[in-house]
Structure 1
Amino acid sequence: MADQNTMSRLDTLTSWHADWATLRVAVLGLGVTGFAAADTLAELGADVLVVAPAPAAGSAASERASLLPVIGARLLQADLDPARGAPHPATAAPAELAAHHPELIIVSPGFHPDHPLLAWAASQSIPVWGDIELAWRLRDKVVRADGTPAEWILVTGTNGKTTTVQLTATLLAAAGHRVAPCGNIGIPVLDAIRDPQGWDALVVELSSYQLHHLKRTGPGALVPWSSVCLNLADDHIDWHGSAEAYRDAKATVYANTKVACVYNKADAATSAMVQDADVQDGARAIGFGLGVPGPSDFGIVDGILCDRAFLAERRDHAIELTTVAELVDRGLAAPHILANILAASALARSFGVEAGVIRAALETFALDAHRIQVVGRSADIRWIDDSKATNPHAADASLKAFDSVVWLVGGLLKGVDIDGLVASHVSRLRGAIIIGVDRAAVREAFARHAPALPVFEIDADDTEQVMPNAVRLAAGLAEAGDTVLLAPAAASMDQFTDYAERGRLFAEAVRDYLGGGAGDHESASDQDS
């Protein structure tokens, strides 16, 4: 059980150069994040015990497990399911973990807040940090020429996080800044802050899981340069327990912001988050939206993307950033992508990036795979992979970009209601192919709102044939001018490793069906929206 001396010591650990030696730490999880935490703490001299399930032979987790003794950490193999809990009662822990007497627990993002080991930690008054707080406390390992650590720019939202992080980092790099995109985007922040070359800025993608564990005040509370919540829609309700808890986690992104709180003018929830946020003196609220911008906003006027925030004459003038016509040529003109560009531009401008630099950088920017990516064309039919649309909000944005759609939908719904999404897009649907394990809810939504629509289901038992069968059925429904759109509105882990594998198998099935020459993996550059 943590005593007052331990708590006082933890309050002093706000620098790489503090005394972390011999601190007893338990790290829950051995994914990329868990290993980065263990590696970092071992480097600092802490006594590190990693608690994780036995890794499968030949897996990435197995390789990480083999490295733990090398870095000076130990592994306790325990039958833990981060999502559904462990076989231990809420007030107990594996004997070896209890014997370690941890003074601190670092939890990987996937562990549910009510996981038995976290309940045990609470019963023992053991502080629990996420990897983001740990990284923030250690951010001064490598400093800039003026002796200060890199500034942090935070990005969250239900959808568009990764694209906005990549855009923002691209714009900062084009201006000559040393910048690292990191966090939930795939590169642990703990790896970024330990990079010996150092950075001027970190653009940090934060999931609601990571935000859940962040403090808003006191030692360890982040103080970002600028921050954005791109949008808010129901997601991960099964993890957070309620829509309100999910919203509260997302709102943490704005706490203590120094320069700019960027919010979505079309999403009242993000505006309310900014209004309620406790920020640094001088921080500004900067709105973005697809309409005409007001003072302190980013928006679009007559097809021109404008900044009316970071200029002295913003009451009467605007700065041109780029045009929709130019972005069409780059495959970046879908409405939700335009919104991401405006948000990223606001973050970059808050860091001093000139408008001309933004325009030039956008001329070479390309979306990642599995984001409204054309993977095939045949008989005036486009086949588009938007496997990254893992929730209804993302699928809604994707569907709005096309007029006539054969929709591949379904997967792991994560407790989210899909009824409204189906109802709002019936008029644009030629037909639908339902995949995944949670097919019943999707099937019932189509029965309620589109009983005459051709709808087919793919048996979830034969994973290897999911995409070939879906493509074959979609081809039978599609007509000239249609788009066959994989925008599942659901997570992928029921049948696939991740959304990337789901998208890749879809693309392969399209190429196989169309004869191997389909698609050149370009963005959906000629969409009408």
Structure 2
Amino acid sequence: MSTWQGKRVTVAGLGVSGIPAARVLHARGAEVTVVNDGDDERSRAQAAELTAEGITVRLGDGATLPEGTELIVTTPGWQPDKPLFAAAERAGIEVWGDVELAWRLRGPDSAPWLAVTGTNGKTTTVRMLASILEAAGLRTAAVGNIGVSLLDAVLGDETYDVLAVELSSYQLHWSPSLRAHSAAVLNLAPDHLDWHGSMEAYAADKGRIYEGNRVACVYNVADPATEDLVREADVEEGCRAIGFTLGTPGPSQLGVVEGLLVDRAFVPDRQKQAQELAEVADVRPPAPHNVANALAAAALARAFGVEATAVRDGLRSFRPDPHRIELVSEVAEVTYIDDSKATNPHAAEASLAAYESIVWIAGGLAKGASFDDLVRGAAGRLRGVVLIGKERHLIREALGRHAPEVPVVDLERTDTGAMSAAVREAARLAAPGDTVLMAPACASMDMFVNYNKRGEAFADAVHALAAEGAGPAGAGSA
């Protein structure tokens, strides 16, 4: 008999992870109750489907612990301070996330996980990793926070040799027993502090990815906090700390030498040998932070035994997702770049560092972030700034403190049509040779459904500008 037969499980939240979790548990004989804060039209439609399958759903009441609950499985977005979880703690009831559930349900012969987290670059790195693994002839998939359910990957009919797994800090918070083959923390910067409560709690949740690693803990040499997390992790005997750097690598590191990505970690003699993996030009785009992503992906692949030629071939065949430093067009000798995925200051910092003379479009929901360090570091590259979004004043204030000479256009409107106006203002500020960079450093939900829609609005506005015959670029004044 299934260990789930008759077990009373509460699933916290509907959506892309809650609904599959409820169905998987119900199929195994559990008595499932889904609780959800929302009671809108979409939620009611989802609830109707689940109810027809024999699953109990309670809408508009996510705070009360259903009577008899033996386990809670939560969706990633539910904050740890929710009353439901406080009630569970008082009652001694475990709380798992959907990743934890997938880990527990995997079979004895299931594929090992190569896991990636970090404030920025997770999706790109995981997709690069999957491309490298495929080039090595391995059956793999990019799964997890990337949008592909781990439950589907673990329980589906398709078999894999290895999985490339993206994990958010939310997912790691609720994954106490996860043990990856190897894992990487790409970087750490303040983000989602409203969810975690503090930077220390955020970093601790990221660090969970290293717990129990068998082969390699991959860290960022330029970000000592990631190495600190490796030191604090309880790993299996023989697991190695592997660094990646944009500089010349030391032993047990991957890095860059004269335009080449090289490996001094997975070679017979780390003190004297280095293995060429690829050229920097094989990385698209070859912006510094993206080269760092490629090195992290290569480190995880090499930890799994992948040959150097597969690293090169995988990077050459990889194409980045939309809205990640994506070239939209060149209009009147001004380049327009969409990095709508830059939803926090750390991500925007990487984008701004990739260009010399920038008209920056920024703003949105700050999520509690500060912009002083970002603006201070980018001030010398800014030709002008166009601000949009609900909390744009925070960036404007930072510009006033650290770049008072830079022309700023503050667009008060926050409707979706504001992007068209922002692009026109940016074109007016730009001169030939400049880059108009839409890297908002903020979340998008004040104006757009998500960062994808924000990026699409930017691209549409740029294409409209081009269709008009180049627009007013070159004025160069506020």
What range describes the TM-score normalised by the shorter chain of this pair?
over 0.9
Match of 1:134 among 101, 104, 107: 101
Identity across matched positions, percent = 51
How far apart, in 1, do the equivalents of 2:138 and 2:54 lie? 35
Determine helix, strand or coil for the equivalent of 1:68. Answer: helix
**Range with greater deviation from structure 2 (194-203 or 272-281):** 194-203
Change (3 A) 1:19 1:421: same
Task: Give the aligned partner of residue 32 of structure 1.
Answer: 16
Q: Displacement of 1:98 after TM fit? A: 2.9
Match of 2:115 among 150, 154, 164: 154
Determine helix, strand or coil for the equivalent of 1:98. Answer: coil
Letter of the 2:99 partner, please give it.
Answer: I
Task: Give the aligned partner of residue 22 of structure 1.
Answer: 6
Map Cα deviations across residues 34-85 of structure 1 (whole Å, 9 max, x no partner). Answer: 112111111111011111145543x4x55533331344312111155xxxxx
Q: Displacement of 1:26 after TM fit? A: 0.7
Letter of the 2:76 partner, please give it.
Answer: P
Contact 1:294 1:308 in 2 (8 A): yes
How far apart, in 2, do the equivalents of 1:295 and 1:46 lie? 51
Contact 1:376 1:384 in 2 (8 A): yes
How far apart, in 2, do the equivalents of 1:383 and 1:477 lie? 13
Q: How does 1:189-208 map to 2 (within 5 A)?
A: 189-208=150-169
TM-score, normalised on structure 2? 0.95
Task: Give the aligned partner of residue 465 of structure 1.
Answer: 417
Contact 1:178 1:199 in 2 (8 A): yes
Contact 1:175 1:353 in 2 (8 A): yes
Q: Are 2:357 and 1:404 equivalent residues in the alignment?
A: yes
Match of 1:487 among 407, 425, 439: 439
**Range with greater deviation from structure 2 (318-327 or 249-258):** 318-327
Change (3 A) 1:284 1:405: same
Change (3 A) 1:516 1:49: farther
Contact 1:412 1:438 in 2 (8 A): yes
Task: Give the aligned partner of residue 46 of structure 2.
Answer: 64
Q: Are 2:133 and 1:166 equivalent residues in the alignment?
A: no
Q: How does 1:95-114 map to 2 (within 5 A)?
A: 97-99=65-67, 101-114=68-81
Determine helix, strand or coil for the equivalent of 1:481. Answer: coil
Determine helix, strand or coil for the equivalent of 1:383. Answer: strand
Contact 1:511 1:517 in 2 (8 A): no
Letter of the 1:212 partner, please give it.
Answer: H
How far apart, in 2, do the equivalents of 1:516 and 1:110 lie? 43
Match of 2:25 among 41, 52, 56: 41
How far apart, in 2, do the equivalents of 1:176 and 1:55 lie? 47
How far apart, in 1, do the equivalents of 2:282 and 2:395 lie? 38
Task: Give the aligned partner of residue 226 of structure 1.
Answer: 182
Letter of the 2:426 partner, please give it.
Answer: A
Contact 2:35 2:57 in 1 (8 A): yes
Map Cα deviations across residues 117-157 of structure 1 (whole Å, 9 max, x no partner). Answer: 212222222211111111111011xxxxxx62110111000
How far apart, in 2, do the equivalents of 1:54 and 1:414 lie? 21
Determine helix, strand or coil for the equivalent of 1:48. Answer: strand
Q: Are 2:477 and 1:509 equivalent residues in the alignment?
A: no
Task: Give the aligned partner of residue 296 of structure 1.
Answer: 252
Contact 1:460 1:495 in 2 (8 A): no
How far apart, in 1, do the equivalents of 2:239 and 2:75 lie? 31
How far apart, in 1, do the equivalents of 2:2 and 2:255 lie? 45
Change (3 A) 1:474 1:244: same
Q: Are 2:370 and 1:414 equivalent residues in the alignment?
A: no
Q: List gaps (5 residues or longer) in structure 2.
A: 471-478
How far apart, in 2, do the equivalents of 1:517 and 1:264 lie? 45
Contact 1:55 1:65 in 2 (8 A): no
TM-score, normalised on structure 1? 0.86
How far apart, in 1, do the equivalents of 2:371 and 2:47 lie? 39
Contact 1:409 1:435 in 2 (8 A): yes
Determine helix, strand or coil for the equivalent of 1:179. Answer: coil
Q: Are 2:175 and 1:214 equivalent residues in the alignment?
A: yes
Contact 2:192 2:367 in 1 (8 A): yes
Contact 2:282 2:315 in 1 (8 A): no
Task: Give the aligned partner of residue 11 of structure 1.
Answer: none
Task: Give the aligned partner of residue 195 of structure 2.
Answer: 239
Map Cα deviations across residues 435-471 of structure 1 (whole Å, 9 max, x no partner). Answer: 111122111111111222211122244x221211101
Q: How does 1:360-439 map to 2 (within 5 A)?
A: 360-439=313-392
Q: List gaps (5 residues or longer) in structure 1.
A: 1-16, 81-87, 141-146, 216-220, 519-529
Determine helix, strand or coil for the equivalent of 1:150. Answer: coil
Task: Give the aligned partner of residue 477 of structure 1.
Answer: 429
Letter of the 1:36 partner, please give it.
Answer: P
Contact 1:237 1:414 in 2 (8 A): yes
Determine helix, strand or coil for the equivalent of 2:25. Answer: helix
CA RMSD of aligned residues (A): 1.6
Task: Give the aligned partner of residue 175 of structure 1.
Answer: 136
How far apart, in 2, do the equivalents of 1:381 and 1:56 lie? 45
Determine helix, strand or coil for the equivalent of 1:363. Answer: helix
Task: Give the aligned partner of residue 205 of structure 2.
Answer: 249
How far apart, in 2, do the equivalents of 1:154 and 1:361 lie? 18
Change (3 A) 1:63 1:364: farther
Change (3 A) 1:30 1:350: same
How far apart, in 2, do the equivalents of 1:420 and 1:222 lie? 35
How far apart, in 2, do the equivalents of 1:208 and 1:126 lie? 22
Task: Give the aligned partner of residue 475 of structure 2.
Answer: none
Q: Displacement of 1:236 after TM fit? A: 0.8
How far apart, in 1, do the equivalents of 2:271 and 2:407 lie? 53
Map Cα deviations across residues 406-450 of structure 1 (whole Å, 9 max, x no partner). Answer: 001111111111111111111100111111111221111111112
